[in-house]
Amino acid sequence: MSEAILEIRHLSKTFGTHAVLKDVDFTVNKGDVTSIIGASGSGKSTLLRCVNLLETLTTGEILFHGDSVTGGKINQSAYRARVGMVFQSFNLFNNLTVLDNCVIGQRKVNKAPKNEARDRALYYLNKVGMLPYINARPAQISGGQKQRVAIARALAMEPEVLLFDEPTSALDPEMVGEVLDVMKSLAAEKMTMLVVTHEMSFARDVSTQVVYMADGVIVEEGPPGQVLTNPQDARTREFLKRFLGQSN
């Protein structure tokens, strides 16, 4: 049994009267690559945003190494610094260069020394293949490049878990590959990842665990071989039939 990093317990989220998440329970273990799949509006992204406390939970709690991060005892900023997030729309800081995007969090949040922060930023920018572009601003690079910088920015904080919120959905088709390759190399290094995705090939080939969501609940979860090739629930089968029919 591996070590649980994140435990989501009885999480519910309502916007007004609309229940987006209903009593969601699941655990992320160290080294897991969990893909969350499901139709648009099933609550996948909201779940991820709740995990990073970008949304306030209506009920339920989130445990990080067994400690509640929603009770108000733990410093939420410190928790966020340990849990990286990569957004669909990149959200790079427009006023900073590529290098400074990867340095600022280390300097201001982790209080890293200047040279160390710079070296670490360069290390991760090299890892995602963006080293030549360190002087560029976000507006000057392509979508795929932005997303790779966003991944480097999250990695530079040396988080224990990385959350990906549909990282390739805003990209042109020819740029999806470069971002997925980076994510695959992270998975190979046993980075713990929680990925909301529509990329079924990534879910099938890279992840160790697949969660299928519909209407705010987890319908089915398990290893990709089980959920994707031998789904137990009729809704999962229907979703996969529609999805795989067009993409694979």
Indicate whether 169 belongs to the interface with other proteins (CB under 8 A). Answer: no
| Residue with smaller CB distance to other proteins, 70 or 197 | 70
**Using an 8 Å Cβ cutoff, are 138 and 94 in contact?**
yes
| Residue with smaller CB distance to other proteins, 63 or 136 | 136
Indicate whether 245 belongs to the interface with other proteins (CB under 8 A). Answer: no
Q: Of residues 84, 216, 224, 231, which one binds other proteins by CB under 8 A? A: 84
Indicate whether 160 belongs to the interface with other proteins (CB under 8 A). Answer: no
* Distance from C-alpha of 38 to C-alpha of 219, rounded to nearest angstrom: 10
Most distant CA pair in the chain: distance in Å? 55
Please count the residues of the chain: 248
Q: Of residues 14, 59, 135, 232, which one binds other proteins by CB under 8 A? A: 135
Site string for other proteins, 3-42 (x = CB under 8 A): ----------------------------------------
The DSSP-derived string for 17-31 is TEEEEEEEEEEEETT
Segment lying near other proteins (by CB under 8 A), choices 10-18, 52-60, 213-221, 224-232: 52-60
Smallest distance, other proteins to C-beta of residue 120, A: 4
Indicate whether 164 belongs to the interface with other proteins (CB under 8 A). Answer: no
Q: Which residues pair with 212 in a beta bridge?
A: 37, 220
Residues 6+ apart with CB under 8 A from 179: 144, 147, 148, 151, 167, 168, 171
Q: Of residues 6, 153, 180, 231, which one binds other proteins by CB under 8 A? A: 153
CA dihedral 47, 202, 26, 74 (to 10 degrees): -60
- Total residues in contact with other proteins, by rule CB under 8 A: 53
Indicate whether 170 belongs to the interface with other proteins (CB under 8 A). Answer: no
Per DSSP (E only), the strands in 30-110 are: 33-38, 59-64, 67-68, 83-86
* Distance from C-alpha of 102 to C-alpha of 92, rounded to nearest angstrom: 9
Is 229 buried (19+), middle (13-18) or exposed (0-12) by CB count in 10 A?
A: exposed
Q: Of residues 10, 108, 237, 242, which one binds other proteins by CB under 8 A? A: 108
Indicate whether 248 belongs to the interface with other proteins (CB under 8 A). Answer: no
* Distance from C-alpha of 212 to C-alpha of 82, rounded to nearest angstrom: 26
Indicate whether 136 belongs to the interface with other proteins (CB under 8 A). Answer: yes
Note the residues at the interface with other proteins (CB under 8 A).
52, 54, 56, 72, 77-82, 84-85, 87, 89-97, 104-105, 108-110, 116, 118-120, 122-123, 126-129, 131-137, 140, 150, 153-154, 157, 178, 181-182, 185
